[in-house]
Amino acid sequence: MSWVGHPLIDRIQSAPSRAQARQLLGISPQEQMIVLLPASRWQEIRYLLPAIFAAAHQLQTQLPQARFWLPLSLEAFRQPMQQAIEQWDLTVTLWPPANQNHSSLAVLAAADLAITKSGTVNLELALLNVPQVVAYRVSPLTAWLARNLLNFSVPFIAPPNLVEMKPIVPELLQDQANGANIAATALDLLQNPQRHQQMLRDYQTMGQALGSAGVCDRAAQEILTFNKSIPGETSQV
């Protein structure tokens, strides 16, 4: 078995720099930008989105100059997201614009902070050096079943923390994932330079564990090598 690295390493190579991303999106270098990533599944819209939007509403009051962006993971989410934005009285830019197809990498790369669900996007943010607060909620019944019947217990849920098995990014789960706690944690990351810098240092260590660019090429080479080692098999390129 050979470790070739994580494929996200190659994907991030195509991401713009922070300066390039901000120029593309029309955001000045001085503006404070917070990206919201509340859902990539319908159940997350029900259980997690309200907590993240409550935090954004509080931050909007405390940081009136901050700009909020929300990259859509699915076009089908546009209408419910827009309705929730109006319900919470938020000023948020949905990306991409309606009927357009643009990558979300520029939005992530331009951000000063992300308030996000747990998932692969946590690794993308870490590789882009964007500080993040990770929150997650499921239905009370699902949480109870996981704890009491399935004996489900993991030390972390955010991939960056799982890679290094330490709390690189803050995690707020279930009842702790409420608007007040998420907003307070986000403010600490924005206003505490020591906490910010420590996260960036931990990101560098985590990134080294994921490997270096050229992951896909190495994976292809390993497949070809393995194929040639099987008697009677020939590789075709």
What would the pLDDT profile of 121-145 be if each residue is shown by its tens digit?
Answer: 999 999 999 999 999 998 666 665 6
Q: What is the mean pLDDT of the chain?
A: 90
Q: Which has the closest alpha carbon to 73: 13, 32, 128, 124?
A: 124
- Gap between the Cα atoms of 147 and 206, Å rounded: 29
Exposure on the CB side of residue 173, measured as CA atoms within 13 A = 10
Q: What is the mean pLDDT of residues 180-197?
A: 97
- The Cα-based distances of 131 to 74, 153, 233 in angstroms read 24, 26, 48
Exposure on the CB side of residue 22, measured as CA atoms within 13 A = 15
**Residue 44 confidence class, pLDDT cut points 50, 70, 90:** very high
Beta-strand pair 113-116/92-95: unpaired
How much is the pLDDT for 90?
97
Using the 8-state DSSP alphabet, how is residue 119 labeled? S
Q: What is the mean pLDDT of residues 23-36?
A: 96
pLDDT at 226 over 70: yes
How much is the pLDDT for 237?
45
Considering all CA atoms of the chain, what is the largest pairwise distance in Å, rounded to the nearest integer? 69
How much is the pLDDT for 50?
96
- Gap between the Cα atoms of 176 and 143, Å rounded: 13
Peptide bond before residue 131 is cis, with ω within 30 degrees of 0:
no
Instruction: Strands of the chain (E only): list them.
Output: 33-37, 67-71, 92-95, 113-116, 132-136, 171-173
Q: Which has the closest alpha carbon to 31: 18, 15, 45?
A: 18
pLDDT at 152 over 80: no
pLDDT at 27 over 70: yes
Per-residue pLDDT tens over the stretch 56-100: 999 999 999 999 999 998 999 999 999 999 999 999 999 998 878
Instruction: Report the amino acid identity of residue 24.
Output: L
How much is the pLDDT for 7?
84
% of the chain with per-residue pLDDT over 70: 90
